[in-house]
Amino acid sequence: MNQSILTPLALALGLGAASAAHADLNGPYVSAGVGAASIERPGMGTASAWNFNAGWRWNGFGIEAGWNDFGTFGRDIPVTAGGATTVHRHDIDLSGSSIGFNDRIALDARWYVTARLGLFRWKTAYAYGPVGEPRETYRDNGTDWYGGVGIGYRVSERFGVGLSADYLKAQGRFLEYTTNRLTLQAEYGF
């Protein structure tokens, strides 16, 4: 099994089992993040990514729902046919909603670690063809899973910032769009 699958899963389950009662972590919250993502397809590079989540926590354990946008992954591929070489552009646009569980454990009064695990409902548009000409576009969607871990710092009683690493599985009918994401997160609790 892929190491990038096991790490978030093991950490999410381990942190969930170790959750302690944190009275200051009860109630609704919103979070947003910006960063970079890489799709697990050779040569597709990285893309700017952002996400938004809303959820509720009870003693550090919570539920969340959100939206994830990964921008456009792309690459140019030279194609030679009949002695002539043309450049074909391949672009993958990926986005989707998520719903799952999370855990936030205080390390001390300011620092905390997080873990999340849930369902990822994704959609994608895959376009390819010669540069400068109309391209064919294929659309795909599905429901897979996501997992992630992070570390954060409580700036105030209600506001925190942190760094999160996430793995979002997206197995299409013909292609795989699984993505790794690294984001700077901000969270506000009500």
Q: What is the pTM of this model?
A: 0.80
| Confidence grade of residue 161 (pLDDT, cut at 50, 70, 90) | very high
Q: Give the three-state DSSP class for 20.
A: coil
If one counts every other C-beta atom within 10 angstroms of the C-beta of residue 147, the result is 25
Q: For residue 25, is it left (φ>0), alpha (ψ between -120 and 50) or beta? A: alpha
At 100-113, the pLDDT tens digits run 999 999 999 999 99
d(CA 141, CA 160): 33
Q: Rg of the Cα trace of the chain? A: 19
**Token pair for residue 37?**
């993502």
DSSP state of 81: E
Q: Are 125 and 156 in contact (CB under 8 A)?
A: no
**Token pair for residue 27?**
């109630």
* pLDDT for residue 1: 46
Instruction: State yes or no: pLDDT of 4 exceeds 70.
Output: no
| Confidence grade of residue 9 (pLDDT, cut at 50, 70, 90) | very low
At 12-22, the pLDDT tens digits run 444 444 444 34
**CB-hemisphere CA count at 13 Å for 46?**
10
Domains of the chain: 3-189 (2.40.160.20)
- Closest by CA to 49, choosing from 175, 179, 188, 151, is 179
